[in-house]
Amino acid sequence: MSKGLCIITGASRGIGAATALLAARDGWDIAVNYAGNESAARTVAARVEAEGRKSVVIQADTSKEADIVRLFDEAEAALGPVRGLVNNAGITGKISQVRDMSEAAIREVMQLNVIGLMLCCREAVRRMSNKDGAAGGAIVNLSSIASRLGAPNEFTHYAASKGAVDSFTLGFAREVIGEGVRVNAVAPGMIDTDIHASAGAPDRAARLGATTPIGRAAAPEEVAEAIVWLLSDAAGYCAGSILDVSGGR
């Protein structure tokens, strides 16, 4: 029996793709959202369907309100009422000190990582809340341990965006838990994905992973385990939790 529709933003690669596959194994039907790489998204959807679950592939830029609303509309039209949301889409921006950051670079990070995430949460709660006659649901936001480390000389704008995600998760969780909607976050540490190459440092995970207390970077699947657990009824008493998956950092 299906657990219902779970929308995963940025699901064509990395943590999002790993989460889509693991959530499918746990009984969720998956809306695979992507921004630009349709081929990768369709590969993820095929893997979901190979697990016996339904999927739909939807292009949407989750930094844009109209795209977000369309994403939810199309996902529900294809797979029924949304019961799960994983706000995975995000960017670090390019490696930079604050003195060299442009306004455009800061806005790009904040627009996707903060405003887009908040708008996705807005659409989800409008469709999940038992206050409006729905059956409730679970939301997992992707934060980062950068929110407490600050990411100096590299990603302070990204770290600030994830600090906003933490604060929003706490407040939003307390706002909607009485409506049958659980909101939590996962805060990864050094994860081996291609987000580092996008930032201009393809060797970053291997190089810095070795400096963590655990001695390595994590695989995306290790973060997905935490996300799918927070989506599940096993985490039924978790609301406003921010779960570190950081190898001891």
Which positions are catalytic? 158
CA distance 45 to 30: 8
Of the candidates 88, 211, 82, 95, the residue with the CA atom closest to the CA atom of residue 144: 88
185 near 140, Cβ under 8 Å? yes
Query: Per the structure block, which two tokens stand in for 51?
Result: 């697990």
Q: How far is CA 143 from CA 61, 95, 148, 183, 242, in A?
A: 19, 18, 10, 13, 8
Is residue 167 within a helix (H) or strand (E), and if so which, with residue range? Answer: helix 156-176
Query: Per the structure block, which two tokens stand in for 29?
Result: 């039907």
Of the candidates 48, 28, 37, the residue with the CA atom closest to the CA atom of residue 10: 37
CA distance 196 to 220: 13
CA distance 93 to 91: 6
Cross-strand pairs, 57 = 32
CA distance 179 to 216: 40
